[in-house]
Amino acid sequence: MSQQQEEIPVAETAVDDVVEEAVDDAIADATVDATVDAEATPVRPPSKPGLSPSRANDFLQCPQMFRFRVIDRLPEPPSPAAARGTLVHSVLERLFDLPAPERTLEAAHGLVPSQWDELREHSPQVTEMFPDAESLAEWLTSAESLLGTYFTLEDPTRLEPRERELAVSTELEDGPQLRGIVDRVDVAPNGWVRVVDYKTGRSPRAGFESSALFQMRFYAFVIWRTRGVLPRRLQLEYLGDGVVVQHEPTEAEMVTFEARIRSIWAGIQDTARSGEWRPRTSKLCDWCSFKALCPAFGGTPPEIPEGAVERATGIQVAQVA
């Protein structure tokens, strides 16, 4: 893996040669350019338990947290950082609706109010995060600052993404349905595929990249399985500190990844059978939405709703009377 801002041919797709597709269409019918996606299948409602990279990481981080989030589906309060991530992602997505020469920082900043309105409409509770107009203005300015960093990493006037906010999924035989949303897919004239993910936080310190790389390998694996094309490059763009992390996956790595994801899924199912969703304390507990309910901190988890374990894991368990 390298941490550099290297340009690759994928980014240089001629604007005139590319047909833009709206993300809503891409997600709704999952039709994708035939040159890269002849094998793609439409994204349908899940027919079996699903696993996303975030939820797999949740289980690895703390089985108890996985239970609260995935089995119990407990609500979590909105956080300014998460909401800012949503806002910045939607601005970057919409930015590519504009003709290439108009994709300027000013245009990106100009999209912030409308995307904030959409976010509020979709998740009215986000407004509760801001006690006054001043704190909201400060938060919006911090989102604009992240957009400013984006423009130091890439020149969107020279890019023509093939996909944005692309829903991908594949079913593992005897395993879960793997699914996720890919922020951006670029395809070079020579067919090379680059998967891009925007991160609104800071880049991980050396030695702590495994969780981010896990997510990118997950996307690469799903694209490889559904399209028969292994992405040439995986690219994480950290807008918190202006770092680009790149990785070039190999087929051997994908085989290892499948074994890894099967092992995680086996761990989830074993835990579901035993009912032992153990807390695993760490520094991250301070950011955990469920700390008050966590047995490791004196809390009492609620009863698991009937059928919730099977829905999430495929494992039938006897309900405690």
What is the secondary structure of 149-193 as a DSSP string?
HHHHH--GGG---SEEEEEEEEEPTTSPEEEEEEEEEEE-TT--E
Chain centroid to Cα 256, Å, comes to: 21
Question: Per CB under 6 A, does 304 bind ligand SF4?
Answer: no
71 binds ligand SF4 per the rule CB under 6 A: no
Q: Which stretch binds ligand SF4 (CB under 6 A): 100-108, 168-176, 281-289, 313-321?
A: 281-289
**120 or 278: whose CB is closer to ligand SF4?**
278
271 binds ligand SF4 (CB under 6 A): no
DSSP codes joined into one string, 72-113: S-------HHHHHHHHHHHHHHHHTTS-GGG--HHHHHHHHH
Minimum distance between the CB of residue 67 and ligand SF4, rounded to whole angstroms?
Answer: 8
Neighbouring CB atoms inside 10 A of 180's CB total 19
Choosing from 10, 88, 264, 294, the residue that interacts with ligand SF4 (CB under 6 A) is 294
Is the dihedral angle over the CA atoms 169, 181, 285, 305 positive or is it negative?
Answer: negative
Q: Which stretch binds ligand SF4 (CB under 6 A): 57-65, 118-126, 181-189, 193-201?
A: 57-65
Per CB under 6 A, 291 contacts ligand SF4: yes
Among 10-18, 166-174, 214-222, 275-283, which window interacts with ligand SF4 (CB under 6 A)? 275-283
Asked if 296 touches ligand SF4 (CB under 6 A), the answer is: yes
Contact 289, 77 (CB under 8 A): yes
Is 164 in contact with 90 (CB distance < 8 Å)?
A: no
**Residue of 151, 280, 310, 311 that binds ligand SF4 (CB under 6 A):** 280
Q: Which is nearer to ligand SF4, 34 or 287 (CB)?
A: 287
Pairing assessment for the beta strands 163-171 and 233-238 based on DSSP bridges: unpaired
290 near ligand SF4 (CB under 6 A): yes
Mapping DSSP to helix (H, G, I), strand (E, B) and coil, where does residue 162 land? coil
Residue 314: name the closest of 180, 175, 179 by CA.
Answer: 175
Question: Given the complex with ligand SF4, which of 224 and 277 has the nearer CB atom?
Answer: 277
CB of 277 to ligand SF4, least distance (A): 9
237: tokens are: 């763009």
Residue 288 lies near ligand SF4 (rule: CB under 6 A): yes
Chain centroid to CA 266: how far? Answer: 22
Nearest to 218 by CA among 187, 173, 272, 264: 264
Residue 65 near ligand SF4 by CB under 6 A:
yes
- Shortest distance (Å) from residue 75 CB to ligand SF4: 15
* Residues within the interface to ligand SF4 (CB under 6 A): 62, 64-65, 279-281, 284-285, 288, 290-291, 294, 296-297
